[in-house]
Structure 1
Amino acid sequence: MHYTAADTWINDPNGLVYADGVYHLFFQNNPYGTDHSNMSWGHAVSPDLVHWRDRPVAILCDANEQIFSGSAVVDHGNTSGLGEPGTAPLVAVYTSHHTDKSPTPGIEAQSLAYSLDGGETWRKYAGNPVLDRGSAEFRDPKVFRYSAPSGAYWVMVAVEAVERKVVLYRSDNLIEWTYLSEFTSTAPVGRIWECPDLFPLPVDGDPGNTKWVLIVNVTYEEGRGGTAGLFFVGDFDGVAFTALGGRGSTGRQPEWELLDYGRDFYATVSFNDVPDGRRVLVGWMSNWDYARILPTSPWRGAMALPREASLHTVDGRIVLRQRVVAGLEPGGASRSVGRTDIPAGTHPLGLAWGSGPCLIEATFDGGTSAEFGILLRQGGAEATRIGYDAERACLVVDRRASASTDLGPSFPSRETAPVELDGGSLELQIYLDASSVEVFAQGGRVTVTDLIFPDASSTGVALYSEGGAAQLTGLTLTPLEDTPVERAAESLRAEDGRAFSRSRASA
């Protein structure tokens, strides 16, 4: 159900683009093994964001550069001149992380690669890099086509990571870039900013009322939770982005909010050119605090389920909602539980479920309970607790008893996310897989994504309530088709086993 590589390391999604009926997912990849090094762009394709097929490594690192994060566009007008008659090139804009063997060791600059056969093979542009600030922390370009009254042009959104600022550039041809502006928050959050994205969305489905969403992924100070994604809602005039909230603003709009309140939704970016103007997000389902020691084999690293984002007005402010894209198929008959009282205590449901993927849709009435919810993958002392803390008005995902192995001090965690009940009711959609849980509350108004690694024997499902009684209004558990990735007949690991060192924690 979740995309993983066959037998290599993956992290950030890169180059997300829809072209000629195909969704292209590129990603940070070590084509030589399962450790974090030799960064290159791996590649997978899908007709529907559900069924994936591996393709060969797209852009391979070499002695002079590692291929860090970036984006891809279809250059329909061949503005770059990299296409051929009748063939619009796919152009990847990526960060060249220059190695010690490069003429500019340690510098990060933006470079191009292009494909004339639908993404199957790639050539690096001979004039790389195309944008160099002389910085060691200038990375992760997201490029898109912007239409202005005076004409269309390309916009690049990148970061100066340590300075915690987004920098914007424009170009007519993807090769020559001109500085536009920069953006940072009034109270910068995190220690490092990475993997930005900027895109428009209609508010409440009204194309006459469009706002822009700026996503920034952050690495926190040590002991603060590792990594996370956040977003700003505001306006973009083709030159600068301005957030609605922040210092000096009025109203209820916060300057920024978390994109997901879990520990494992990072480096999130969106697809370019999705049909019907939809905005689909993909995040790396891991956290730099423990990504290197996760107990998976022969692969390491996975993507969260693709999500469609939308903006809505709620209680005088604009909120971002996320829903898993349509297309996941039932893998068996659904099982339902009707209205059920939940007195104080833990109450098994008799819906024991194995490690296969499933969707759990549940609605609760809070009643007099101080905290209520559901326990998943329960067995012995193990369980993942998903519930609602009525006193603090927050969704709770507690995985402190969710792993059967030691994954370090930051893995056992209790996530909380502010959520208001609707008429006393809590609505949950829970996508449960062998080693992950993705929780969507109140129609996707709040999401929590966490990895879990319970013992295979922990298969129970139970309801719980504390400090009073609650009620389950209804619950449906639907097995989901596993949709394994279509792998090549042989491993897609690169044949050349040379290793190139990597000098920072994340891309």
Structure 2
Amino acid sequence: MSSRKENCYPIMHFAPDYGWLNDPNGLVYHDGIFELYYQSNPNGVEWDDMTWGHARSTDLIHWEELEPVLYPDENGMMYSGCGLRNDRGELGLPKDALLFPYTAAGFDEGLSNPYFTIRLAYSTDGGASLIKRGDKLLQEMAPDNRDPKVFWHEESKAYVLVLWIEKNDFGIFRSENMQNFELSQRITLEGGFECPDLFELPVIGDDGNVSEKRWVFWAADGMYFVGDFDGYKFTPTQDKKKAYFITTLPYAAQTWSGDPKGRVIQIPWLRTKCVYNQTTSTMGIPRELTLRKINGSYVIKHAIPEEITSRVQPVSELTKGESSYISKDSAIFLDLDNLSGSTVNLYASGENDPFVTLKYNDRTGAIGISDGKVTEFMFLGREHRDKATIIYDRGIIELTTGDDTILQMTDLPHLRSIECNRISFESGEGNLKVGMIY
């Protein structure tokens, strides 16, 4: 691997030491560890030679990059898949083994199979290395079918595999022993495309308690469908929704299996640009998903998991005209309790002019993010002016409204090497809480 150039890397958003990164894969929690595999080109900063890269974390902030685990073979490049624990001791493997359904992308001429095939790898050393099995998990449905996501459905006593087939079509497959999955439903979801996920979420009421649970069918660009699932068929019960508001940065998000608290924690690929010819793309900040019912419709909430929030170090609470110094080697958390009229400036060490200005427009309901030359806008809507959390991480900005129902992201990659050491609350009617993680 190439040597790491620290000044081109964010603090909280994982990126490999060198190379290309895209879809998160094989997300599984075990023994206090969040495993993160991902689509990788370890040989260059552009898409090619798809391999499964590997990193892991105990706190969802600090990631240890390890050696790649799946390389292209006679069946094709290693495309996306998932991970789960072998809690039921399938396939003659120990219960502490990890299972990894994946896509072998056999589209190149001369390969043994010109179709994309769904196969299985496993690990008996805690995810450090993966061993490929020779068999396929299911019969191909279309030339490019891909991206299996598998989980155990307790109510119907079977493993469920969801798969993108083609166009807006997805398949739901079942197996009682992690072999020979059979189709139970082919479903067309308008606007949905590749990288499916299917999970059950609690609905959080106004009192903060769980009022019910609903199933969510997720597609790559953040399109999601809320409905019912009986282990065999998914039935949408409301119109499609979009998780990300006016942004194309996040894509192909996947959820971790095996969380001991039963949470649904998700991480997306962020399509950030190549920096210093060193690395292309990062992962987003993991989010804990729940649902909220607003005006009769279910909406996803994107909360920061406690592993992260518990490590945010409070720095200061500012009112209009006040400023505060922070550590240069940190990601910045900004909590505004009233957006109206708010302007926040970020300064580098020794500089009198801000390198980033965040300014809320009361008329449009948008936050403008300006570096003095270019301005990006995050549109929240005027109804969400009461509260917001902004995370600034060396040019990558993630923003959520106070109720966590709107999540927006943007990237200013030319700011990656600039280290902020002072925050100024230039104007605003409320208070600004400043925190940091490093």
Q: What TM-score does the superposition give when structure 2 sets the normalisation length?
A: 0.85
User: Matched residues in 2 for 1:116 and 1:211: separation?
Assistant: 34
The superposition leaves residues 342-395 of structure 1 with CA deviations (integer Å, 9 ceiling, x where unpaired) of: xxxxx89576985741111112253xx6xx554556989986554544445x44
Contact residue 355 and residue 434 of structure 1 kept, 8 A: no
User: 1:401: how far off?
Assistant: 5.7
Output aligned runs, 1:262-301, within 5 Å. Answer: 262-286=247-271, 291=273, 294-301=274-281
Determine if contact 2:244/2:408 at 8 Å carries over to the other structure.
Answer: no
The residue number in structure 2 matching 1:309 is 289
Matched, 1:166 2:137: no
Report the AA paired with residue 155 of structure 1: V
| Residue number among 215, 220, 234 corresponding to 2:218 in the alignment | 215
Q: Does the alignment pair 1:176 with 2:157?
A: no
What is the aligned partner in structure 1 of residue 162 from structure 2? 157
1:337–1:400 Cα change, 3 Å: closer
Matches within 5 A, 1:103-114: 103-105=112-114, 107-114=115-122
Taking the aligned partners of 1:73 and 1:402, their CA distance within structure 2 comes to 46
Secondary structure, counterpart of 2:82 in structure 1: strand
* C-alpha distance in 2 between matches for 1:153 and 1:62: 30
Quick one: distance in 1 between partners of 2:74 and 2:88?
A: 34
Cα deviation code 1:299-332 (max 9, x no counterpart): 3221111111111223333221111222347687
Paired residues of 2:200 and 2:213 also in contact (CA < 8 A)? yes
Counterpart mapping for 1:28-47 below 5 A:
28-47=39-58
* Structure 2: distance between partners of 1:240 and 1:24: 29
Offset of residue 268 of structure 1? 0.7
1:364 aligns with 2:345: no
Match of 1:132 among 130, 139, 147: 139
Q: Tell me the CA shift for residue 169 of structure 1.
A: 0.9
Distance in 2, Cα, partners of 1:140 & 1:377: 43
Q: Does 1:242 align with 2:235?
A: yes
CA shift in 2, pair 1:103/1:321, >3 Å: same
Corresponding letter in the other structure for 1:201: L
Q: Secondary structure at the match of 2:194?
A: strand
Task: Report how many aligned residue pairs link the two structures.
Answer: 418
Asked whether the equivalents of residues 54 and 69 of structure 2 are also in contact (C-alpha less than 8 Å), the reply is: yes
2:101 aligns with 93
Q: Distance in 2 between matches of 1:167 and 1:419?
A: 40
Q: Which amino acid in the other structure matches residue 8 of structure 1?
A: G
Per-residue Cα deviation, 1:188-212 (whole angstroms, up to 9, x for no partner): 33xx712111100121166662101
- Matched residues in 1 for 2:150 and 2:267: separation? 16
Deviations 1:91-118, CA, capped at 9 Å, x for gaps: 111111013231223x212111111221
The separation in 1 between residues aligned to 2:328 and 2:42, in whole angstroms, is 32
Query: Counterpart of 1:144?
Result: 151
Q: How does 1:64-463 map to 2 (within 5 A)?
A: 64-79=75-90, 81-84=91-94, 87-98=95-106, 99-105=108-114, 107-127=115-135, 129-133=136-140, 135-148=142-155, 151-161=156-166, 163-185=167-189, 188-189=190-191, 193-204=193-204, 209-218=212-221, 229-246=222-239, 255-259=240-244, 261-286=246-271, 291=273, 294-328=274-308, 334-338=315-319, 340=320, 356-364=330-338, 366=340, 372-376=342-346, 386-392=358-364, 394-396=365-367, 398=369, 413-418=376-381, 420-421=383-384, 425-455=385-415, 459=420
Q: Quote how far apart the aligned CAs of 1:447 are.
A: 0.9
Unaligned residue ranges in structure 1 (runs of 5+): 219-228, 247-254, 341-346, 404-411, 466-470, 482-507
Partner SS, residue 214 of structure 2: strand
Structure with larger RCO (C-alpha < 8 A, sep 6+):
1
Report the residue type matching 1:83 in the other structure. Answer: L
Q: What's the counterpart of residue 505 of structure 1?
A: none
The alpha-carbon distance between structure 1 residues 464 and 241, as it changes in their structure 2 partners (threshold 3 A), is farther
8 Å CA contact retained: 2:173, 2:185: yes
Rate the CA distance shift 1:101–1:89 in 2: closer, same or farther, 3 A: farther
CA contact 1:309–1:321 (8 Å) conserved in 2? yes
- Runs of 5+ in structure 2 lacking a partner? 1-11
Q: Which residue of 1 aligns with 2:8?
A: none
Seen in structure 2, the aligned counterparts of structure 1 residues 454 and 103 have a Cα distance that, compared at 3 Å, is closer
Structure 2 residue corresponding to 1:473, chosen from 412, 426, 430: 430
Q: Is the 8 A contact 1:97 1:109 kept in 2?
A: yes
Change (3 A) 1:243 1:60: same
